[in-house]
Structure 1
Amino acid sequence: MATYGFAWGLALAIALVATPLVKELALRIGAVDVPNARKVHRGVMPRLGGLAIYLSFVVGFLLFVPKTPIAWGIFLGGSVIALVGALDDRYQLSPKAKLLGQLVAAFVVVAFGLRVTFINLPFDDGFSIGWLLSIPVTILWIVAVTNAVNLIDGLDGLAAGVSAIATATLLVVSLLMGNTFVALLCAVLLGATMGFLVFNFHPAKIFMGDTGALFLGFQLAVLSIMGFKQVTLFSYVIPMLLLGVPLSDTFFAIVRRKLNKKPISAADKSHLHHCLLSLGLSHRGAVLTIYAISALFGLSAVLLYQAQTVLWVATMLVAVLVIALQLGAEVLGLIGYKHKPLLRFLRRVRTRVQELMIAGVRHSRTNGWR
């Protein structure tokens, strides 16, 4: 356990030292974030803060992580994605250019041997998939998670905090599984992210930019594959829970835009943090609320890992989570204020129950009078 502590502590210390230096660099080269109608902050802010996370991760990786082929793939792929993010923070790359960079980073780690090769099913033993299918499935997961983390980077400390909670949960589950390799990578990534968060929490002194959001998303995507590809039963539900906040926010954004007949790539102000702010929460209050939601997802992931051998318990847990997720999305308006099928159903059930209760009372009074 001492090794994990040293890895975490060193990455944390480097991030604490590197972040102010990166801030000065960002201001000097013009890597700044200018406010607009969609953004919450009002002044020009330095970004590129993810470079501090990347540098801290690199040092921790070189000192503590065993240098297997997949490890080098993670290192090189992470370097590619960090470079793409840094270029975007400075020069504002087009969406196509950023997507191309994400695909290249994903191809790199796949080329070094990281692939989803087995699909586990809840009520079956699952089945193996060939390399023709495993490659696109792996790349799709990496790109999807990378962009999901990037999309939630809308408030001070939000993406960094949610990523830290997801990483910490993955660290715990990896230790329970005895997966020391993934646990070491998580310890380094957690330390780097927490060190940066000191300067990024509200009121932020620096933004992580795409350098940090893309890098954290990439690492979480890769680590979730490595941590659970050998687990049976609900193995692919667990990483989804670990990344519950960014993945669900992205999913509801896609559904919302489809229902409103808008392009999937169209920007709006109906993400989770926007909805919480519209309810009257403060900037810090909205972030802390999302931290709590992310922690609940993480706890659910740990519970599901522990309960996955008991089929009915795991199934019930997943069902409750799905219903709670849908209900929360409708209450907050993540899908849109016109699309609330579960709430309408519950209201009809409540109305029907009330009608039956009133009818029962009337019937009892009538019989009693007679």
Structure 2
Amino acid sequence: MTSPSIYVVAFFVSLLVSVGSMPFVIKFAKRYGFVDQINHRKIHKKEMPRLGGVSIILGAIAGLIVIRPESDYLFGIGLGALIIIITGLIDDRYVLDAKAKFSAQIAAALVVVGSGITIPFITLPLSGQFEFGIFTYLITVLWIVGITNSINLIDGLDGLAGGVVTIALSTILMMAIIDSFSQHLMIITLSVVLIGSTLGFLLFNFYPAKIFMGDTGSLFLGYSIAVISILGLFKSVTMFSLIVPVIILAVPISDTVFAMIRRVLNKKKITSPDKEHIHHCLLAMGYSHRTTVMIVYGLSLFFSGLAMIFTNVTIWTALIIIGLMLITIQLYAEFIGLFGKSRRPVIDAVKRLGMMDKK
């Protein structure tokens, strides 16, 4: 069995490589045109390098070299990641259309499924285990593509996506260690190196950012957390399986689902961008950039806490937790005015109470 101390070493190696490579990545991005241009959807006011994902990837690779994990799935995960990384790099330089990006994501997901990583069932309170059968592969591909895009969509403010991913990965890491350290070595390995490298990136990305992660980073992190969440951690939990990662990732998942519904209701393409995501709504209420990010962090921590409690409670308590989560998501839907209700009354009420952040 690998000594736990090697994971500590790998964490710091990932962190240091991510931090150390960042100045070179920034110079490279500016020199060769990997920059985020200003437009009506952007929050930033100047041209920004957007290749920070490369430092995240370099840090993760360095950490993996330290641990040298052994897994039958490693080649498939790596090949899928390579497809995602190449797609992200091309998009950060030339901007790919939605069809090309989706095609690449599906290809990466198919590689993962081909390596044997699948979601064969979901276990629900009261109704028991539900086998997906012939739909196992389709469900797995949809999960990987969906989570990959959810992280990509929430990457709208300095430090937002990186922080949400770090919170989710930290939750998965803690649950893996508590459940069985020896049985979840691959999950622990990937989580540790990604947390380290992402934290290194956040040192340069938290407001005011010096660099963005770009699609190279957001697609890679989304893909990584999608794969990690189905590697087997929650299949050993008697009562619950896929529900747990859904709760952990409730913020990006709900934001993505509501974005799709919103665009359908507005008769727009589901791939068309807008400024109605949760972070845009908070900014519209007058909250500062930093405060908005912290609020979303708080929501992520809330759902991560629910997920950890969820795996160690009775069925009825679990149902209460699910209800609490659904109520929170419903309040979020009301907040963003998803079904045509204006959030102006909410904004005006907050102003009258003097709760606006004027920083």
Superposition TM-score, scaled by structure 1 size: 0.87
CA contact (8 A) 2:154 2:252 kept: yes
Summarize deviations over 1:182-205 as a string: whole Å, max 9, x none.
112101110010000100110000
Decide which of 157, 160, 179 is 1:158's aligned counterpart. Answer: 160
Residues 235-246 of structure 1: pairs in structure 2 closer than 5 A: 235-246=241-252
Instruction: Return the alpha-carbon distance in structure 2 between the equivalents of residues 106 and 161 of structure 1.
Output: 24
Larger radius of gyration: 1
Q: Which runs of 4 or more aligned residues in structure 1 lie more than 6 Å from their structure 2 counterparts after TM superposition?
A: none
**1:169 CA displacement:** 0.8
Residue aligned with 1:229, SS: helix
- In structure 1, the residue matched to 2:324 is 320
| CA pair 322-66 structure 1, distance change in 2 beyond 3 A | same
The answer to whether 1:103 aligns with 2:106 is: yes
The answer to whether 1:287 aligns with 2:293 is: yes
Instruction: Return the alpha-carbon distance in structure 2 between the equivalents of residues 334 and 209 of structure 1.
Output: 28
Instruction: Return the alpha-carbon distance in structure 1 between the equivalents of residues 274 and 143 of structure 2.
Output: 24
| CA pair 36-223 structure 1, distance change in 2 beyond 3 A | same
**1:121 CA displacement:** 2.5
The answer to whether 1:26 aligns with 2:29 is: yes
Decide which of 204, 217, 238 is 2:209's aligned counterpart. Answer: 204
**1:236 CA displacement:** 1.5
- In structure 1, the residue matched to 2:200 is 195
If each structure's helix is expressed as a fraction of its own residues, which one has the higher value? 1
- In structure 2, the residue matched to 1:186 is 191
Residue aligned with 1:41, SS: coil
The answer to whether 1:113 aligns with 2:122 is: no
Instruction: Return the alpha-carbon distance in structure 1 between the equivalents of residues 208 and 342 of structure 2.
Output: 35
Unpaired runs of 5+ in structure 2?
347-359
Identity across the alignment (%):
45
**1:35 CA displacement:** 1.0
Instruction: Return the alpha-carbon distance in structure 1 between the equivalents of residues 7 and 24 of structure 2.
Output: 26
CA contact (8 A) 2:98 2:271 kept: no
Summarize deviations over 1:152-192 as a string: whole Å, max 9, x none.
11111111111111111111111111123211210111001
Residue aligned with 2:230, SS: helix
Instruction: Return the alpha-carbon distance in structure 2 between the equivalents of residues 275 and 154 of structure 1.
Output: 12
Superposition TM-score, scaled by structure 2 size: 0.90
The answer to whether 1:80 aligns with 2:73 is: no
Instruction: Return the alpha-carbon distance in structure 1 between the equivalents of residues 248 and 111 of structure 2.
Output: 24
Decide which of 195, 206, 218 is 2:223's aligned counterpart. Answer: 218
Summarize deviations over 1:216-273 as a string: whole Å, max 9, x none.
0000100111122333333212101111111011111122223333332222111000
Cα RMSD for the two superposed structures = 1.7
- In structure 2, the residue matched to 1:361 is none
**1:119 CA displacement:** 2.7
Q: Name the count of aligned residue pairs.
A: 337
